[in-house]
Amino acid sequence: HPFQGGATLLSLGLIFLLYTMFVWWRDVLRESTLEGHHTKVVQLGPRYGFILFIVSEVMFLFALFRASFHSSLAPTVEIGGIWPPKGIGVLDPREIPFLNTLIPPSSGAAVTWAHHAILAGKEKRAVYALVATVSLALVFTGFQGMEYYQAPSTISDSIYGSTFFLATGFHGFHVIIGTLFSIICGIRQYLGHLTKEHHVGFEAAAWYWHFVDVVRLFP
């Protein structure tokens, strides 16, 4: 909004928010690795909390898919009684969308490889697996950017554009968050923070990544 000082206020708010997140997570890592405060009982809290977070994400994305199915399975008169609505261009599902459906399961396999490597005490292999995961995620994000650039419709094109871009956009956002998650885990693994007895942060990243993989398999 064109308010005087609005951009400055927004920038300061984002800076303080990011700084707070960084310091908070830094302290959590120190407590878990250097100070040894994260016992098996303490680790249950983050595990349960993250499971509840993923459940909330499932509910959120279910609402988006429900909106898409509601409009596509029974098109109303207002959109011409057909799906996609008349005059709306669609992407060929055999091209980039097909490739981007294959990449998430492949990256999920790489995360599983990293998990087994951590459990086996093979630190270098875990790092290699996380590098493969991040590389596949970056390829996915690049393809989705190309998909949006070549898309013949926009988010303002009827209910089709709204549901398509909202669902795929939020999925892409989750991929970016999961990519950052995996990068942090890779750095921590390289620094020797993760052990086969204590790797809650990696488990949360793996759960999140598998959740993102499963979501991509839906239409």
- Are residues 33 and 118 both part of a single domain? no
- Are residues 11 and 72 both part of a single domain? no
Domain, as residue range, for 32:
1-37
Q: Tens-of-pLDDT digits for all 219 residues of the chain?
A: 678 888 889 999 999 999 999 999 888 888 877 777 777 888 888 889 999 999 999 898 888 888 888 888 888 888 888 888 887 888 877 888 888 888 888 898 999 999 999 998 888 899 999 999 999 999 999 999 998 888 888 888 888 888 888 888 888 899 999 999 999 999 989 988 888 878 888 899 999 999 888 877 665
- Are residues 33 and 59 both part of a single domain? no
- Are residues 31 and 86 both part of a single domain? no
- Are residues 50 and 66 both part of a single domain? yes
pTM, two decimal places: 0.83
Return all residues near 199 (Cβ < 8 A) that are at least 6 apart: 118
Name the one residue in this structure whose structure tokens are 């989705």.
144
User: Token digits for 6?
Assistant: 């609005």
- Count structural domains, the chain: 2
Q: What is the pLDDT of residue 85?
A: 84
- Are residues 177 and 152 both part of a single domain? yes
Distance CA 217, CA 42 (A): 34
- Are residues 106 and 32 both part of a single domain? no
